[in-house]
Each structure stands twice: as C-alpha cells, then as structure tokens.
Amino acid sequence: MRLKGKRALVTGGGRGIGRAIALAFAKEGADVAVLARTESEINAVAAEIKSFGSRGVALKCDVGLANDVALAVPEAAARLGGGIDVLAANAGVMCHATVDDMTDEMWEETIRVNLSGVFWATRAVIGPMTERRWGRVIAMSSVSGKIGGAYRSAYHAAKHGVIGFVRSVALEVAGSGVTVNAICPGFVDTQMISEGKSDFARFSGDGRNEEETMNMLRENIPMKRFLEPSEIAEMAVYLASRVAGGITGQAFTISCGSVQV
C-alpha cells in the first residue's frame, strides 16, 4: 500500500473527483478526512473509507469561507491522530457569464472557492508539514488554468491562479520534504459538468441542445470521451506517494489529448 500510515485531507470530498481521490487514498492505506458543504455526501464517503479498513472523518466545511477552513483543518488533523500528511485541495465551482454580465457575487464566489480555498487549506497544513519534514500538497487546477475560455473568465482566472500559487509555494518549501503540485484535468464526467449542461449549451451559440452540446464537446476531444474521476485520483495517489518526492512545482495535464501544455 503506497499510503499506509498517512493521514490525508480532501476538500470537496463528497462527490466527483474529490470522492474518487478520498477512496483511492483509503484503498492505499491512508486515513482520510473529507470536507465539503453537503453533510450527507461526506458522511457517505467517510463510511466508504471505513469499509476499506481506514479511518474516515467527515467535516462540513465551505472552503470559500476562511473561518470554516481555519476551524475544520485542525479538527480534521486532531481526529486523524494529530496531523495532515497529504492535502488534496479539490473543491471547485464553475459559473458561465460574459464579463459584462458577471456579477460581483459570481466572480467572488468562484475565486474564493477555487483559489482562496486552496490558499487557506494549504496555509493551514504547510507549517506542520515542514516541521515534520514530510508532506504532499496537491491542488486541483484544470486545463482552464493553462488556456483561456470564453464565458468562464472567473473560473479560468482562478485555475490559472492555482498554478501560480503551487509553483510559488513549491519553491518556498523546496528542501523541506514537502512537495506542492497541481493536477489539470480536462472534461471529467462529474456532477459539476452534468449540472452545467444548460450553460454549456446556452453559451455554445450554435443552437445545439444540451445533449448535442455534450456530444460536440466529446467529439472535439482527441480520445472522443470525458475522463473518469478515478483517472484523476490515480495521479493524486502517485503525487502523494513516497516515490514522487522529487516532483514539485508542476502542473500535470490529464485531458485525453485535448490540451498538450
């Protein structure tokens, strides 16, 4: 087991990529705390974690609120036995709007959850990690952090920010035994994408309905498919493992060939 004895924290751990990462960590022997806003979802994931023989902790937390993160991370560390060895800062939201139609609330929530949430969670774990001379921070960016995208400027701005943050913090802690990396998925078959069908169709500008738009998006991907959450989770397990100790400050694209940067 690649993560035996490690204590992991996953934000946005109730569904989609976060759930897949939490379960993959547990299968590799880690005890895992999952944070998210929906209690029923994180409670279910914690139960699944326990079914693998690992300790599972569920804590309600809105990572877009600094105080929520400041309270939840130390509690998670205490309930896992006194520390966090691996952080997967995964929570994210997406909104669609033209720049002139985007409200302050839409912009601020997207930046808070996708970027500030990564900062707040990292800030809460990085000191103890460096003191212990071992740790892994894995932040969820996106291919949207490497390219532009019309009608999703707040999301793209936040995901670009995650990569810049990761690269900077990696240099701050280089040599301490702590690595800091980002994962940049393309389209993943998750509830967030499913819930965004109407927005993708509305802003496609070509009159396609929701299903036609989803099919068009798949056809534009070289492999003609969306990713599965488990594919992202496997990269997270690798980056969290001992053998990835020489990898830091990197942003790994997983996109079925759609973005080659």
Question: How far apart (Å, rounded) are the C-alpha atoms in residues 44 and 36?
Answer: 12
**CA neighbor of 94 nearest in space, from 18, 229, 192:** 192
Confirm whether 151 is a catalytic residue. no
Name, in order, each residue with C-beta under 8 angstroms of 136's C-beta and a sequence gap of 6 or more.
85, 86, 87, 178, 179, 239, 240, 244
- Residue pair 14/47 in contact (Cβ under 8 Å)? The answer is no
Of 25, 119, 151, 155, catalytic: 155
| Residue located via tokens 């929520």 | 68
- Residue pair 251/261 in contact (Cβ under 8 Å)? The answer is no
**CA neighbor of 185 nearest in space, from 230, 252, 119:** 252
CA angle 135/32/247 to nearest 5° reads 30
The amino acid that residue 160 corresponds to is H
Catalytic positions are 155
